[in-house]
Amino acid sequence: MRIVVSKDEELIRLDMFLTKNLEESRSNISKHIKDGTIKVNGNVVKTGYLLREGDLIEYEEWCEVSEVVPEDIPLDIYYEDESIIVVNKKSGMVVHPGNGNNNGTLANALMFHTNNLSDINGMDRPGIVHRIDKDTSGLLLVSKTNEAHRILSDAFKEHKIKRKYIALVSGVISEDNGKIVAPIGRSEKDRKKMCITDKNSKEARTNFTVLERYKNATLVECILETGRTHQIRVHMAYIKHPVVNDSVYGNNVINDYGQMLHAKYIGFEHPINGKFMEFECPLEEEFMSILDKFRNS
């Protein structure tokens, strides 16, 4: 991973800058700087190094969690066999440990549910092939074997996995459907956010169809052609229709439920037998409750 220092970030200590932007403890950041895991302009520097505009900070993603502890957390499993699991994740649940979320994650729950999970992505991400955001609800594919994991991972890279989302966005969209094509990369101003940019970005394509229009919002179905971090949230904000209740990319925050985004459908070829499988799950009650308020306003 890499960060390019902007002008307004000059003269900030390296350890303090990374503590804020990577959401890690200062002691952990200092440790990684001292052992050379974090470098500036290709060089090992001291923790108190003062940043300059244009400095290139390079680091490897790490996780302080060496082993995921099994936790008895209920799972809403839609399908399971000897190779895969399809699970409906609740809004508010983190997919795997990291950045201070070491307990209560989907990975913790999966470890309690079964001892058979792929380990290709390491001990901290057992069975995790792909992710959805903490406050996004809906369907996820989990792999129980490394063979299935490799096949599914390649299918995601080749955009063979079909996914549909439901989102409530701010404002009234006049078009019945549309396609957003805009590259997404990490923001240089706020490393926790993604943005539309040509710098260190990847192509991103989102198709949307209007399902219902309300006085001040629109319910849409989104189909992803690519799978970038925060893709729907960034793309909808880009066309001036941010997802309702999204405190990061929008300003229409109603309560602490989280962004009104739900992964309702997933379709894929079974990694072992090749059979096409598809699953769909309903909106959560809290999502429906908020939606009803817009319908009746």
Give the span between the Cα atoms of 48 and 8, in whole angstroms: 18
pTM higher than 0.85:
no
What are 91-107's pLDDT values in tens digits? 999 998 876 677 899 99
pLDDT, residue 63, reads 47
Report residue 81 as tokens: 């066999």
Q: Of 148-162, 187-201, 275-289, which gets the smallest average pLDDT?
A: 187-201
Answer whether residue 55 shows pLDDT above 70: yes
Give the span between the Cα atoms of 185 and 190, in whole angstroms: 11
Mean pLDDT calculated for residue range 141-152? 96
Q: Which residues are the active-site residues?
A: 133
Give the span between the Cα atoms of 88 and 77, in whole angstroms: 6
Mean pLDDT: which of 36-50, 85-99, 281-295 is highest? 281-295
Looking at the chain, the whole-number percentage of residues with pLDDT higher than 70 is 96
Mean pLDDT of the chain: 91
Answer whether residue 235 shows pLDDT above 50: yes
Where residue 66 falls among pLDDT bands split at 50, 70, 90? low
